[in-house]
Structure 1
Amino acid sequence: MTTADPHAGQAAAKPRVAVILTTYFRGSHSDVVVGRLLDGYLLEGENRQPDVEVVSAYLELLGDPYGGDDPRDDIGVEMFEQFGIPMFDSVAEAIGLGEPGVAVDAVLVIGEHGGYEENMYDQRLYPRKRLVDAAISTMWGAGTFVPVFTDKQLAWRTRDAFRMVEDCRRFGVPLMAGSSIPLAWRSGDQTWPAGEPMDAAVVVGFGGADIYGTHLLELCQSFTERRAGGETGVEQVLGLTGDQARAALTDGRIDRELYERALATVDLEPEGQARIAESGIDVFEVIHRDGLRSWIVIHEGLYRFGVAARGPNLSTATRVWAQRGPEFGHFSYLVRNIEQFFSTGKPGWPTERVLLVTGVLDAAMRSRHASRGQGVPVPVVTPELDFGYQHDDSAVIHAHGLPVIDDSE
């Protein structure tokens, strides 16, 4: 068995990419990621042509991707026809360009959006693992393995995420996953100083809990993993919603000073303050193995992101700027990191970061369900998340300079 070299052949050749998608409508992750790989994109004020070439596509949900519950107009078929990209009826055919084998240099999986079922924990059962499994199985049959990027968290279930990572390691498949928010513009204190001790962190943002929880947890990790000793793993997770989450803001469970500092970064007008006071709320509490405590506070009506952290020597507060549509400019930085990964085979950040986020989100949603059902907080112990990692982010392409105008309100 071999691992494909994306640099083999002519030095100037762009990596050839198969895109494996659940659905493709205006403003979907497929649109804001694959659309940039097809038609170029704006980065740091300049038009940029992609460094990779999309050569095939598998699109699972055609027509009305939400089955009538939330009608969206499919634009994927039109886009692929416009750019001359062949569409195939299976993942294997897309990777082999209609023939048995692997005929591409990389695989992009976007298992986001679409009318997939929800389980009892309010998790949307997106088929990320199934789509990645189909790609890995195709590679195994051919004896050739290429890099895989999968959007956002690895899976909705922790054990599936571990299996994905184990399979990719076993076969030597470079795997990268993650979201756009940790790469977006920042103002205030740009980040946490590398190697500085940290005791606590709070991230505020908007939700729902499942779909945005992964963004906020990964944003939090991009700060907390820089602390002295790096990430040490997570021993316990608590999820709360509604009145239980509101009580956590007043009963001392959440570090109120850090919460208010994080909220102050987003410059709320009085009407914004009134809106979040009335909107839905979720809280995740994460207890790390080295004693660090971090909290995610999700206000449905907030529309902005803020981070505050404190250690024995200093404290920081940062606003994170994401741009609303139709531009969604922060996705340009995710696309640029995906291109770099496909060209080098080296992930910009550790897979362990997203594996940890995946496990914390799964535990938080299960805890949230149990806490709501029993009427008292029910934390979930997470022995499976007893692993750490170190991260040197020097190769990551972040947004820099002044943030884009945030027109979310």
Structure 2
Amino acid sequence: MGGVKKRVAAIVTEYRYNSHAEVILGRLLGDMGYHPQVEIVSLYTDQVPVNDMSREVAARCGIPIYSTIRETIQAPHGEKPIDGVVIIGEHGNYPINEKEQMMYPRRRFFEETVAALYGLGLVVPIFSDKHLAYNYDDALWMYNLMKARGIPFMGGSSIPHCDHVPAFDRQNLFSLQEILVVSSGGLEGYGIHAMEVLQSLVEQREGGESGVRSIQLLRGTNGEAWSAMDRGEWPEELMLQALSVIPGLPNAPLRELEPEPALFIIEYIDGTKGYIIQFKQLVEQWSFAFRHGQQQVTAALCDSDLDRPFAHFERLTQMVEQFLISGQEPFPLERTLLTTGMICFAMDSLYEGKKLDTPTLDITY
């Protein structure tokens, strides 16, 4: 790309080895063999852990670190205002609430960013990593503000943008009826990746997105998920098909390997069914299987790297750059709002111990 590079301010929770800040922002600073098309001109770090990398990186790249978000947005302007903002509110030492949600300051980061931009009369593209907020009311407030002010926005997970292995005919998604995603890790932090994978596929069904009617999350203690499967409440066949595309899985009975997986059950307003089976240690990647057409099943792996340099983050970084340069949202903001609501209500369901109706997730796009 010729010409002057777009000038971008970066707001992060912490910047240390293998953090999202390092594998995304680090690339935008030219690390990890990446050749950025934008220029990071200012940086704010909310926390500075003992293994912090931000000070060394900023000094090497000649980038000022500011003590407030307002300064980070406003101070580097001079004759040329910033053209975009990257917010990475992931990792760091933050409290966990009674619903087991990490209370990342994503709304605060966003709110202070928009206030600083508004003071300058600027509307620029904003990228914010993963879901909008741990609180759905906060997420809805952010969404409404973006819509009211016409703020271009990109959020969400890196995993939906991975290659699918094996590749399949995307037209199969048009007649999707039910889908199961295999996931791993922590319920909220990794569950949102699975929600994003699920939604990126489900939204392509005939008629588009209709919204979510209800959500339930079973932790799996005492084999709840397996008991629900035995009762026919979620499809074993789709789980086995989704597992079949993940290489290197041990050849042993699943219930012995994973006696207490978690289970998310999502019911869409149009009758489509979504499931996430989340294992503790069986898998390290995401895969899926969906039923379509005349009861055919398609399954694929989301081909994310398990080790550095994490190519899926390189793809995400490329998408972020193109978004910051063009101002064109690569997918609907409503997807990020809906997946945020889905993971928030799932954690509410776990806390309250029951399935929850979700009339506020009547989100169409």
One-letter amino acid of the structure 2 residue matched with residue 339 of structure 1: E
> What 5-or-longer segments of structure 1 have no aligned partner?
1-9, 43-47, 65-72, 372-377, 390-409
Counterparts in 2 of 1:192 and 1:287: CA distance versus 1, 3 Å: farther
Note if 1:25 corresponds to 2:5: no
- Once the two structures are superposed, residues 41-90 of structure 1 have per-residue CA deviations (whole angstroms, 9 ceiling, x without a partner) of 56xxxxx51111101000010134xxxxxxxx111111111111110001
- Once the two structures are superposed, residues 232-290 of structure 1 have per-residue CA deviations (whole angstroms, 9 ceiling, x without a partner) of 10010001112323322322111111111111111343367669723652111000011
Counterparts in 2 of 1:27 and 1:275: CA distance versus 1, 3 Å: farther
Correspondence list, 1:116-195, <5 A: 116-190=94-168, 192-193=170-171
Secondary structure of the equivalent of 2:306? Answer: coil
The one of 278, 283, 300 equivalent to 1:318 is 300
1:392 paired residue number: none
The one of 28, 31, 41 equivalent to 1:37 is 28
User: Is 1:23–1:74's contact at 8 Å kept on the other side of the alignment?
Assistant: yes
- TM-score norm. by structure 2 comes to 0.93
2:338 paired residue number: 356
Counterparts in 2 of 1:152 and 1:326: CA distance versus 1, 3 Å: same
Note if 1:54 corresponds to 2:40: yes
CA distance in 1, matches of 2:337, 2:67: 30
> What 5-or-longer segments of structure 2 have no aligned partner?
none
The one of 324, 328, 335 equivalent to 1:346 is 328
- TM-score norm. by structure 1 comes to 0.84
- The alpha-carbon deviation at position 362 of structure 1 amounts to 0.5
Counterparts in 2 of 1:85 and 1:230: CA distance versus 1, 3 Å: same
Higher alpha-carbon deviation: 97-106 or 134-143: 97-106
User: Is 1:101–1:138's contact at 8 Å kept on the other side of the alignment?
Assistant: no
User: Is 1:189–1:316's contact at 8 Å kept on the other side of the alignment?
Assistant: no
User: Is 1:192–1:223's contact at 8 Å kept on the other side of the alignment?
Assistant: no
User: Is 1:88–1:98's contact at 8 Å kept on the other side of the alignment?
Assistant: no
**Quick one: percent identity of the two aligned structures?**
34
Higher alpha-carbon deviation: 96-105 or 238-247: 96-105
Note if 1:308 corresponds to 2:289: yes
CA distance in 2, matches of 1:276, 1:23: 38
CA distance in 2, matches of 1:208, 1:280: 13
Secondary structure of the equivalent of 2:188? Answer: helix
2:174 paired residue number: 196
CA distance in 2, matches of 1:320, 1:290: 26
CA distance in 2, matches of 1:276, 1:193: 37
CA distance in 1, matches of 2:252, 2:316: 29
CA distance in 1, matches of 2:252, 2:3: 51
Secondary structure of the equivalent of 1:25? Answer: coil
Note if 1:337 corresponds to 2:313: no
Counterparts in 2 of 1:80 and 1:275: CA distance versus 1, 3 Å: farther
Secondary structure of the equivalent of 1:125? Answer: coil
Counterparts in 2 of 1:241 and 1:363: CA distance versus 1, 3 Å: same
Counterparts in 2 of 1:76 and 1:190: CA distance versus 1, 3 Å: farther
Higher alpha-carbon deviation: 144-153 or 243-252: 243-252
CA distance in 1, matches of 2:252, 2:160: 24
- Once the two structures are superposed, residues 272-311 of structure 1 have per-residue CA deviations (whole angstroms, 9 ceiling, x without a partner) of 7669723652111000011000001110112122110012
CA distance in 2, matches of 1:321, 1:190: 14
Higher alpha-carbon deviation: 245-254 or 141-150: 245-254
User: Is 2:127–2:155's contact at 8 Å kept on the other side of the alignment?
Assistant: yes
- Once the two structures are superposed, residues 23-47 of structure 1 have per-residue CA deviations (whole angstroms, 9 ceiling, x without a partner) of 01100000000111011556xxxxx
The one of 221, 226, 240 equivalent to 2:218 is 240
- Length, aligned pairs only: 361
Note if 1:380 corresponds to 2:356: yes
The one of 237, 244, 252 equivalent to 2:232 is 252
One-letter amino acid of the structure 2 residue matched with residue 177 of structure 1: G
User: Is 1:95–1:101's contact at 8 Å kept on the other side of the alignment?
Assistant: no
CA distance in 2, matches of 1:35, 1:217: 26
One-letter amino acid of the structure 2 residue matched with residue 27 of structure 1: N
Runs of 4+ residues deviating >3 angstroms? 98-102, 189-192, 271-276
The one of 8, 12, 24 equivalent to 2:3 is 12
One-letter amino acid of the structure 1 residue matched with residue 104 of structure 2: Y
Counterparts in 2 of 1:289 and 1:25: CA distance versus 1, 3 Å: same
Counterparts in 2 of 1:276 and 1:294: CA distance versus 1, 3 Å: farther
